[in-house]
Amino acid sequence: MYKITRPQAIERDSPNGYPECVLCGSNSPTDVHHIVSRAQGGKSELCNLATLCRSCHNAAHGVNAKEIRAKLLEIIKERTNTND
């Protein structure tokens, strides 16, 4: 599934044609991050993936992980909202 949803996450998080970090807006090299980690039961579904720059990705695994996870879930919920 990740082979399918990873490119979808990159496309969703590329408002100008280039992937950008959903937290800080940087278009430096990005990683696709599992908001709820696979180790904690998170799946590779689009609503659980976000592109993050390396700095924000490191922070998402650091001491502020809970706060960052909550913020990411809110951002991704907005981006995947289909009530147009």
pTM of the model: 0.83
CA 84, CA 81: separation in Å to the nearest integer? 8
- pLDDT one-digit tens code per residue, 5-45: 999 999 999 988 999 999 999 999 999 999 988 998 989 99
The tokens of 59 are what?
A: 């922070």
pLDDT at 77: 83
pLDDT at 82: 55
Does residue 14 contact residue 56 with C-beta atoms inside 8 Å? no
CA neighbor of 50 nearest in space, from 69, 67, 64: 69
Q: Could you tell me which residue, 60 or 78, shows the higher pLDDT?
A: 60
